[in-house]
């Protein structure tokens, strides 16, 4: 069982354009689609598509379109009732796969609602193998929310806590790795930009931009290793079309996939995390978890909108794994 927490879920609308985005002009869409979303929700959707048991924990009113979409999609969920509508995010996709996203802030969660959401997660995560804490945080929620949840999960489960993965950005991501060992995740899933920020905060001597890390997997591995040395169990860093690197205390690997025709990159990183967790739940070795992560991400990028792939739509045999230096 894998439980996901999405504190700031959304209704994700994807508008496909017939040509590059023209600022200030009128353009007609080729198609419009929508899915229940938010990073954790997307991970649960991808796991359901591959037949893995999961529960998505999130806030939301019973009649909210996000919850309606989960019911329609057959995604098990546990929702904390709130009165405010959840946010709507819009992604504009161009024919070459370029994606422009406009994300709303989401409804405010009071301190009582935050505590109730944590309680709901603790209840539903008993016996889980993984808990995924993912996405942005809504207004009113402190940046160290994920670190707080991580500590609560570990203190409540008396040594039998699930492994914890965090996939966020900005202040919530920085706070998730800046506290004590009890608040550190077992797995962190940054993209190249987030990895550059994390490595700098961890005291990595060589400052690198996202573009530099995507172009140089050895540098990406070294940056991820700096984050692991700070106390994180492992770092799965997605590098866009360049693949991904995985760094643990035992090794570092690069995974690459042959080029695919990118249709939409919305949710590709979330699918990568789902692929990793899917392989991990089957007892795969770290390098093979990375292999499935990249296969899932590539498959997601080739699908329209925020569609997530099932495992049979992925091609892990096409992924090349290379061992890297991490120092």
Which residues have a catalytic role annotated? 270
Measured between alpha carbons, how far is 294 from 31 in angstroms, rounded to an integer? 27
Q: Are 104 and 124 in contact (CB under 8 A)?
A: no
Nearest alpha-carbon partner for 194 in 179, 172, 206, 210: 210
- Compute the distance between CA of residue 327 and CA of residue 324 in angstroms, rounded to an integer: 9
The one-character DSSP state at 257 is: -
**CA–CA dist 239, 247 (Å, integer):** 13
For residue 229, what are its two tokens?
């040395």
320 pairs with which residues across the strands?
256
Two tokens, residue 52: 């893995």
Q: In what order do the strands lie in the sheet with 252-256?
A: 77-80, 54-59, 2-5, 130-134, 163-167, 187-188, 234-238, 244-248, 252-256, 320-323
> Strand 54-59 relative to strand 187-188: parallel, antiparallel, unpaired?
unpaired
End-to-end alpha carbon distance in the chain: 35
Residue 327 CA: distances (Å) to CA of 216, 229, 250: 14, 11, 12
């Amino acid at each position: 069982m894998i439980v996901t927490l999405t504190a700031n879920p959304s209704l994700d609308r994807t508008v496909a354009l017939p040509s590059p985005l023209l600022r200030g002009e009128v353009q007609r869409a080729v198609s419009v689609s929508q899915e229940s979303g938010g990073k954790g929700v997307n991970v649960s959707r991808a796991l359901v598509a591959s037949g893995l048991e999961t529960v998505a924990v999130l806030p939301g009113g019973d009649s909210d379109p996000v919850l309606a979409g989960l019911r329609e999609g057959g995604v098990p969920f546990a929702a904390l009732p709130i009165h405010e509508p959840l946010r709507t995010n819009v992604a504009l996709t161009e024919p070459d796969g370029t994606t422009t996203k406009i994300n709303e802030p989401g409804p405010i969660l009071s301190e009582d609602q935050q505590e109730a959401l944590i309680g709901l997660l603790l209840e539903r995560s008993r016996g889980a193998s993984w808990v995924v804490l993912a996405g942005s945080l809504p207004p009113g929620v402190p940046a160290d929310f994920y670190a707080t949840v991580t500590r609560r999960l570990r203190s409540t489960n008396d040594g039998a806590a699930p492994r914890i993965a965090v996939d966020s950005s900005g202040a919530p991501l920085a706070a998730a790795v800046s506290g004590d060992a009890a608040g550190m995740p077992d797995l962190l899933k940054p993209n190249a930009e987030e990895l550059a920020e994390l490595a700098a905060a961890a005291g990595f001597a060589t400052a690198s931009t996202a573009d530099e890390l995507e172009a140089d997997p050895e540098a990406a591995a070294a940056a991820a290793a700096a984050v692991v040395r700070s106390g994180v169990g492992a770092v799965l860093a997605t590098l866009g079309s360049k693949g991904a690197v995985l760094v643990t205390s035992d090794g570092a690997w690069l995974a690459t996939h042959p080029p695919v025709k990118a249709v939409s990159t919305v949710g590709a990183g979330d699918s990568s995390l789902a692929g990793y967790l899917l392989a991990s739940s089957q007892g795969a070795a770290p390098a093979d978890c990375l292999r499935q992560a990249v296969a899932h991400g590539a498959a997601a990028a080739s699908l329209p909108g925020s569609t997530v792939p099932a495992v049979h739509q992925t091609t892990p045999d096409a992924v090349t794994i290379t061992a890297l230096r991490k120092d």
